Amino acid sequence: MSNIPITSALISVYDKSGLDILVKELHNHQVKIYSTGGTYDFIKNLGIEVTLVEDLTGFPAMLDGRVKTLHPAVFAGILARRNDDHLGQLQTHNLPQIDLVVVDLYPFEETLKQTSDDALIIEKIDIGGVSLLRAASKNHASVAVISKQSQYPIVADWLKENNGSTSIEQRIQLAYESFMVTAHYDTAISYYFAEKVGQAKHLRYGENPHQKASFIGNLDDIFRQISGKEISYNNLVDIDGAIALISEFKSNDPTFAIIKHTNPCGVATRDSVKNAWDAALACDPTSAFGGIIISNKMIDGETADAIDEIFYEVLIAPSFGEGVIEKLSKKKNRIILHLSTFEVSPEQRKYILGGHLSQSMDNHKAEDESLQQVTKATIPASQSDDLIFSLKCVKHLKSNAIAIVKNQQMIGAGLGQTSRVDALNQAIEKAKRMGFDLDSSVLASDAFFPFADSVEISYNAGIRYIVQPGGSVKDNDSIVFCDDHGMAMYFTGIRHFKH
């Protein structure tokens, strides 16, 4: 039975604004109302019959109001399934079923804004209200729940239209909004306690000096800071991007990456740590200035001497050779981090539009790509590793993104452009400006080519091998161009947008 009439309601709210609209509509449908304290007085002053919760429970409100609704007589009526067994148990104990719960929570966040008095803040942590909302939301198959004032007129209209009943679709929507309310509420409380136990790290400022910022979490599980100044908001964002990128190469030969504004501007793999550093820096020495440097291997003395010649913000490595820390930490502001794990968070979250987005991390590894050869030509075995290398790089560039790779080195990158052709031209121009030879290089695109123009531009620049997701309605145009010009192209079937 999806449409269920409301016969009884429990109402206990901190702020009574607008409550009269709902209460009067409930009264029109002869709904029996139970209430507490000030809400009871408010309803009674409307001239509407209401019963005190303590008359239902036989137990007085106590502990300065901390205990009012926390009683089996209340929760049994909310949580009971509407079947013979559960309803029979209610009847045996002379308890009513409760079809509607109306609760707003103590204003915890508002109190935080008004005072720093811990006792006052703690007192605004709602216990009974959260429990009531969760119970009613859990039993949404039978119970409607109102968790915020904006819902009063909406539910009142539903009752008017449905002769005092709610539909299952309406109850699911209300349950969803209720769980969102309690999740936000619990998050705010957890942040407050994070500060109390030292887990909330206040940063100097956010992306810009006029923005406040903090980090809540345990960085000790990820890295240990060995030396340097306080880590900033922008440092943390870049560090996160750097670890995500180097995790792609954790089992590879020595690899260095240089990160600037979360984008890799230099990536290279070589037979030694020093050679990997030299090759990564050569990708774009200018952008490396003030960047984040990360290695998948131990930093030895020779490499440390080379790194010491440039200005950088952060150096990250899983270990450091003898004397390296002493050498590099002579410049006090340099942040040096000992990386404890290559593992990255399985989930990403972002707060927007008054809510939050969440998604699983883009953890599809390039080694697992099922590369589909779609052209007659193939890439020589001696360069096949560059296909995988380019995919690892382009995945960590902001979209639209192009990575050009040759001999395990990212020699060109185009990123954050509004057209793929612009990203491609940017990557080609940069590679040429840095003095690289593009002949027989590999190009990776984070998304498909909508037209053959990108393939033609690549060919004219000397690029001969392409790897891209495929999936455009005009894929065949690109394939035909490649076949006509002796180029090899591979499809992955996996897109790597990064916004």
Tens of pLDDT along 8-34? 999 999 889 899 999 999 999 999 999
- Examine the residue annotation and report whether 261 is marked as an active-site residue of this protein: yes
Confidence at 389, pLDDT banded by 50, 70, 90: very high
Alpha carbon separation from 434 to 130, 373, 430, 483, 491 (Å, rounded): 60, 31, 6, 30, 29
CA distance 115 to 118: 8
- From the centroid of its chain, how far is CA 290? 27
- Average confidence score pLDDT of the chain: 89
Confidence at 369, pLDDT banded by 50, 70, 90: low
At residue 472, the 3 state secondary structure works out as: coil
Domain 4-195 -> CATH class: alpha beta
Q: Name the more confident of 205 and 370.
A: 205
Q: Name the more confident of 113 and 144.
A: 144
Q: What is the mean pLDDT of residues 330-340?
A: 91
* CATH superfamily for domain 366-491: AICAR transformylase, duplication domain (3.40.140.20)
CA distance 414 to 403: 7
pLDDT for residue 62: 67
H or E segment to which residue 389 belongs: helix 384-394
Q: Tell me whether domains 4-195 and 221-339 share a fold.
A: no
Q: Residue 176 pLDDT > 70, yes or no? A: yes
Q: Residue 1 pLDDT > 60, yes or no? A: no
Matching CATH number, 221-339, of 3.40.1260.10, 1.20.1250.20, 3.40.50.300, 3.40.140.20: 3.40.140.20
Instruction: Give the E-state strand segments of 30-93 in sequence order.
Output: 32-35, 51-52
Confidence at 368, pLDDT banded by 50, 70, 90: low
Chain position carrying tokens 């003395």: 301
Tell me: the pLDDT tens digits for 49-64?
998 888 787 777 767 6
Name the token pair of 49.
Answer: 């019959």
Going from N- to C-terminal start, the domains of the chain cover 4-195, 221-339, 366-491
CA distance 466 to 206: 39
At residue 198, the 3 state secondary structure works out as: coil
Question: Among 16, 24, 86, 138, which one carries the catalytic annotation?
Answer: 138
Q: Name the more confident of 201 and 172.
A: 172
- Examine the residue annotation and report whether 32 is marked as an active-site residue of this protein: no
Confidence at 119, pLDDT banded by 50, 70, 90: confident
What is the amino acid identity at position 380?
Answer: P
CA distance 455 to 466: 8
- The answer to whether the bond into 400 is cis (omega within 30° of 0) is yes
CA distance 247 to 330: 29
Name the token pair of 103.
Answer: 């609760």
Question: Among 261, 327, 338, 485, which one carries the catalytic annotation?
Answer: 261
Name the token pair of 348.
Answer: 């990403």
Name the token pair of 141.
Answer: 């198959």
Instruction: Specify the DSSP class assigned to residue 383.
Output: G
Q: Name the more confident of 106 and 65.
A: 106
- Residue 270 near residue 254, CB atoms below 8 Å: yes
Name the token pair of 304.
Answer: 């440390």
Q: Residue 437 pLDDT > 90, yes or no? A: yes
Q: Residue 269 pLDDT > 70, yes or no? A: yes
Please give the full DSSP string across 204-256, using - where no structure is assigned: S-SSSTTS--EEES-GGGTEEEEESSPPPHHHHHHHHHHHHHHGGGTTSSSEE
Q: Residue 356 pLDDT > 80, yes or no? A: no
CA distance 350 to 186: 17
